[in-house]
Structure 1
Amino acid sequence: MTLAYWCVLAAALMPFLFTGIAKFSGGRYNNYSPREFLEKQEGFRKRAHWAQLNSFEAFPMFAAAVIIAHLTGAEQDYINTLAIAFIGIRIVYGAMYLANLAALRTLVWAAGLACVIALFAAGA
């Protein structure tokens, strides 16, 4: 299995990092109504929930881009580099979300999107 495929796994698990912060960083988590609990959170816990949702949204396009780059015969080192960069960028993105740094978060988000686009274009 390539390093880029391991990055797909990391991206698939990343939302759970943020949901863990949202659910277990304070307050009494209610597993009987988790969605209601998360919607009632405030501050960084609410932003962690939003980072979780955005991570779920970003995953399909990233996973597809890695798979398509592999299938079209793009250079493996290039695919790995972009995949690792995407994971690092998404971690920074989550940190920017938690810190409530909206402008920087948007720039970091755009960098992650650029990695995905580059992966799609890699096999062209």
Structure 2
Amino acid sequence: MNPTLPHGLTVAHWCILAAALLPLLCAYIAKWGLLRTPRGKGGFDNADPRGWLARQGDWRARANAAQANSFEGLPFFIGAVLLAGMLGAPQGRLDLLAVLYVLLRLGYIVAYVGHMPTARSAVWGLGFLVNVAIFLLGWR
């Protein structure tokens, strides 16, 4: 039997939720400090959020790009976790790899927003490899 947390959810399942929240964190970072500033003074434009984000530069633009990348990687992570669970992968390893993936994604966001392109690419690659490992975990 798989070790679970309350309500039958495993750590890996909760990591799916955590990974799904990371794009929202990136969006908040991109808008940080300008949510209460009036539109006329450069503040966030909720009437045209995509246009406003497209006009941003520097770290705000990088936070928005990290948001897009976080959404792009999410389906593979969700699928890998669910497949590994369905195939009876060892739950402890699955949980550990899922937590590692989320931590690497956080590191990716920090490296992206902080303009560390080499570190960003390395962390992205590690996260991808961890996701492949999750996908293959239940393979026998």
Q: Shorter-chain TM-score: what band?
A: over 0.9
Which residue number in structure 2 is paired with residue 19 of structure 1?
27
Which residue number in structure 2 is paired with residue 64 of structure 1?
79
Higher helix proportion, which one? 1
Q: How far is 1:25 from its partner?
A: 3.1
The answer to whether 1:32 aligns with 2:47 is yes
RMSD (Å) for aligned C-alpha atoms: 0.8
Segments of 4+ moved more than 6 angstroms: none
Which residue number in structure 2 is paired with residue 4 of structure 1?
12
Q: How far is 1:103 from its partner?
A: 0.9
How many angstroms apart in 2 are the aligned matches of 1:46 and 1:91? 17
Per-residue CA deviation, residues 67-124 of structure 1 (Å, 9 max, x unaligned), is: 0000000000000000000000000000000111111110000010011100111011
Q: How far is 1:23 from its partner?
A: 1.6
TM alignment of 1:1-124, pairs within 5 A: 1-26=9-34, 27-124=42-139
Q: TM-score, normalised by structure 1?
A: 0.98
How many angstroms apart in 1 are the aligned matches of 2:62 and 2:126? 20
Identical counterparts, % of pairs: 40
State the aligned residue count: 124
Counterpart residue type for residue 86 of structure 1: Y
Q: How far is 1:24 from its partner?
A: 2.7
Counterpart residue type for residue 20 of structure 2: A
How many angstroms apart in 2 are the aligned matches of 1:92 and 1:116? 15
How many angstroms apart in 2 are the aligned matches of 1:91 and 1:25? 21
Unmatched 5+ stretches in structure 2: 1-8, 35-41
Counterpart residue type for residue 11 of structure 1: A
Q: Does the residue aligned with 1:62 lie in a helix, a strand or coil?
A: helix
How many angstroms apart in 2 are the aligned matches of 1:20 and 1:55? 13
Unmatched 5+ stretches in structure 1: none
How many angstroms apart in 1 are the aligned matches of 2:46 and 2:100? 34
Q: TM-score, normalised by structure 2?
A: 0.87
Larger Rg: 2
